[in-house]
Amino acid sequence: MVRRLKTGPIRVLIAKPGLDGHDRGAKVVARALRDAGMEVIYAGLRQTPEEVVRAALEEDVDLIGLSILSGAHMALFPKILKLLKAQKAGNIPVFAGGIIPDEDARRLKKQGIRAIFGPGTTLQEIVTTAQRLARGPA
Amino acid sequence: MTGSARTPPLARAILAGDRRALAQTITAIENGDTRVSATLRALYPHAGSAPVIGLTGPLGVGKSSLLSVLIGLLRERGKTVGVVAIDPSSPYTGGSVLGDRIRLERKANDDGVFFRSMASRGEAGGVAASTREVARLLAAAGYDVIFVETVGSGQVDVAIRGIATTSVVVLVPHLGDEVQTLKAGLFEIADVFCVNKADLPGADLAARDLSELVALGAARDGWAPVIVATSTTRPAGIEELWRAIEAHEQFLDQTGLRVAHERARLSAEITDRVKDRVGHEVAERLDHDVELRRLLDRVVARKIDPAGAAEELFRTRYATR
Ligand code: B12
Ligand SMILES: Nc1nc2c(ncn2[C@@H]2O[C@H](COP(=O)(O)OP(=O)(O)OP(=O)(O)O)[C@@H](O)[C@H]2O)c(=O)[nH]1
Ligand SMILES: [Mg+2]
């Protein structure tokens, strides 16, 4: 409804859906995005897909980042994309990282996850991608 | 009123419970986006008398955890809740990690709660410049009780007094030295003291120390701060905490102080806004002022001092008397 002012900082939600307790990667990414001047809402561990979507809408984020190392991504990511669409928020870009096999990553990207990063990705690459996704045309 | 043709669509959407419209308007307020001015103007009369509860206190004392259990308690009683939780912005990059949401536990799909994280964006005093307006927007959107969690800087977040109807200062046992340093400001803002983490040893002692301090201080406007011990992990004392908050809210109504305080807060807000505008305008005008440049040359040459230059500029440009 309100077109965003380009002057405001980028707002990103970093969430860990599911029961996965590996939170190092999510925290590292959150800090890197903060250091790039973004406002990062870190929602913590064990979020249901519903909670992730609710947080994204209440916080009016420009970008959603999901982190999963437990292997549950094929169940959780599509569910989140579906819920976003149901809320007419399918335009909010979603990117992700963690332990996600290449074959799964290909399929998830087809479903609408915009970028997926595995272990060893440089933080610079993640920051650049976040900036592009958050500011680029949806 | 609600359906009036002159009410902007965005305002109508917010009054109708559109959460997305509310979230986007908050962003616009934060960004100083004047396109929502008409919306805010239309909503102002709807921001009635919802209690605004400030939660303040040092880093990590359990403000967000208390918020979560208080929300649970209020939802059980059928009250809806709007929250603004502030965390600091980095002074170097302007970025921020907003972590107050981590503690939030609520029933799935409960539209009775709206939780918004906010970066302080360089504002000192524990809240952001736009916090006041956002709290008011949440009230206009119809939430029964509004909570504001301040930054938790370790200093006393005094700015909360300009926003909250009731301010809760949260402390933990063994804050001995910290309480000493906070003392000056503490009693200026606390309507309720909450000694959280009462499951840890030393809570009784802390509460006793506090009550001695409270007894020493003069009651402000006839209200002596109430001290409550709580634990969010056990949990314990949460009902007592809410009762203390309610007691203060009732006190405000019974004494007529609610209106007096509201008036004082609004007066301060208007003054702040004018000061901001004037400050900007003056800075902009001085930027092109040849007189400033002339005086500056003399200051640089050590002919006059900066205070003298400012005095002269003020006299020639701004003094009305
Ligand atoms: C450290 C670790 C742990 C720690 C976790 C500590 C913590 N609080 O995070 C502990 C010891 C607790 C642990 C426990 C377990 N672990 Co473990 N753990 C690891 C290990 C060795 C490193 C993970 C890590 O922290 N890496 C450092 C961070 C910085 O990297 P990262 O998370 O990959 O993040 C990077 C990218 O992935 C990406 N990224 C990540 N998230 C996001 C999000 C976004 C939005 C973006 C853009 C990018 C992004 O960017 C980051 C920077 O490059 C991995 C193996 C590995 N090499 O990955 C196994 C691993 C993840 N664990 C595994 C397992 C099985 C477990 C356990 C179930 C049992 C066990 N075997 O110990 C438990 C379960 C814990 C739980 N409750 O969920 C498996 C998972 C298997 C799978 N997915 O099929 C792994 C892969 C080991 C293996 N090869 O078997 N583990
Ligand atoms: N033992 C105990 N720990 C608690 C209690 N309440 C909160 N904590 C813990 O204290 C830590 C900080 O809690 P938060 O609720 O995030 O505190 P906060 O004041 O909001 O923190 P900031 O917003 O960072 O200033 C967490 O690890 C909580 O689990 C309590 O009653 N007892
Ligand atoms: Mg907090």
Q: Is A98's C-beta closer than 6 angstroms to any atom of ligand 1?
A: yes
Question: Residue B27 and residue A11: Cβ atoms within 8 Å?
Answer: yes
- Most B CBs within 10 A among A12, A14, A34, hence the mutation to make, goes to A34
ipTM of the complex: 0.93
Question: Residue A40 and residue B28: Cβ atoms within 8 Å?
Answer: no
Distance between B50 CA and the closest CA of chain A, angstroms: 20
Q: Is A133's C-beta closer than 6 angstroms to any atom of ligand 1?
A: no
Q: ∠ CA B57-B61-B62 to the nearest 5 degrees?
A: 105
- Where are chain B's structural domains? 1-45, 47-254, 263-318
Cβ–Cβ contact A138 with B under 8 A: no
Query: Quick check: helix, strand or coil at residue A69?
Result: coil
Which ligand 1 atom lies nearest to the CA of residue A24?
A: 9
Q: Is A96's C-beta closer than 6 angstroms to any atom of ligand 1?
A: yes
Q: In chain B, what residues touch A4 (CB-CB under 8 Å)?
A: 27, 31
The whole-number pLDDT of residue B182 equals: 63
Question: Residue B116 and residue A58: Cβ atoms within 8 Å?
Answer: yes
Cα A83 to Cα A78: distance, rounded to the nearest angstrom = 9
Cα B117 to Cα B30: distance, rounded to the nearest angstrom = 11
Question: Residue A40 and residue B95: Cβ atoms within 8 Å?
Answer: yes
Residue A35 · residue A124 · CB < 8 Å: no
Q: What is the interface size between A and B, counted as CB pairs within 8 Å?
A: 98
Question: Residue B30 and residue A55: Cβ atoms within 8 Å?
Answer: no
Q: Whose CA is nearest to atom 3 of ligand 2?
A: B197
Cα B51 to Cα B115: distance, rounded to the nearest angstrom = 16
Structure tokens at B121: 């964006």
Q: What is the CATH number of domain B47-254?
A: 3.40.50.300
Distance between A71 CA and the closest CA of chain B, angstroms: 22
- Delineate the domains of chain A, giving CATH numbers in brackets: 11-133 (3.40.50.280)
Per residue in A25-84, pLDDT (tens digit) is 999 999 999 999 999 999 989 999 999 999 999 999 999 999 999 999 999 999 999 999
Query: Quick check: helix, strand or coil at residue B102?
Result: helix
The whole-number pLDDT of residue B40 equals: 96
Residue B93 · residue A34 · CB < 8 Å: yes
Q: Is B65's C-beta closer than 6 angstroms to any atom of ligand 2?
A: yes
From A4, A34, A55, residue closest to B96, measured CB to CB = A34
- Rounded to 5 degrees, φ, ψ at B196 are -90, 170
Q: Whose CA is nearest to atom 38 of ligand 1?
A: A97
The whole-number pLDDT of residue B177 equals: 62
Structure tokens at B66: 């208390």
Using the predicted structure, report yes or no on whether residue A6 has a pLDDT greater than 60.
no
Per residue in A98-125, pLDDT (tens digit) is 999 999 999 999 999 999 999 999 999 9
Distance between A38 CA and the closest CA of chain B, angstroms: 5
Ligand 1 pocket test target in A19, A20, A22 with most atoms within 8 Å of CB: A22
Residue B261 · residue B165 · CB < 8 Å: yes
Banded pLDDT at A5 (limits 50, 70, 90): very low
Residue A97 · residue A12 · CB < 8 Å: no
Question: Residue A1 and residue B115: Cβ atoms within 8 Å?
Answer: no
Nearest CA among A47, A54, A81, A51 for reference residue B19: A54
Helix (H) / strand (E) element for B227: namely strand B226-229
Cβ–Cβ contact A42 with B under 8 A: yes
B61 CA distance to ligand 2 centroid (A)?
Answer: 5
Q: Whose CA is nearest to atom 30 of ligand 1?
A: A25
Beta strands in A1-138 (DSSP E): 11-15, 39-42, 63-68, 94-98, 115-117
Structure tokens at B294: 């002339």
Cβ–Cβ contact A30 with B under 8 A: yes
Cα B138 to Cα B124: distance, rounded to the nearest angstrom = 23
- Measured between CA atoms, the residue of chain B closest to residue A54 is B109
Cβ–Cβ contact A19 with B under 8 A: no
Give the ligand at the shortest distance from the Cα of B103.
Answer: 2
The whole-number pLDDT of residue B138 equals: 98
Residue A2 · residue B33 · CB < 8 Å: yes
From B30, B93, B117, residue closest to A8, measured CB to CB = B30
The whole-number pLDDT of residue B178 equals: 62
Question: Residue A58 and residue B115: Cβ atoms within 8 Å?
Answer: yes
B39 CA distance to ligand 2 centroid (A)?
Answer: 37
pLDDT tens for chain B, 321 residues long, are 445 567 899 999 999 999 999 999 999 999 999 999 999 999 999 998 899 999 998 889 999 999 999 999 999 999 999 999 999 898 889 999 999 999 998 777 899 999 999 999 977 777 787 999 999 999 999 999 999 999 876 566 778 888 999 999 998 887 666 666 666 677 778 999 999 999 998 888 888 888 887 777 766 788 989 999 999 999 999 999 999 999 999 999 999 999 999 999 999 999 988 998 999 999 998 989 999 999 999 999 999 999 999 999 999 888 776
From A36, A57, A59, residue closest to B95, measured CB to CB = A36
Mean pLDDT of A83-105: 96
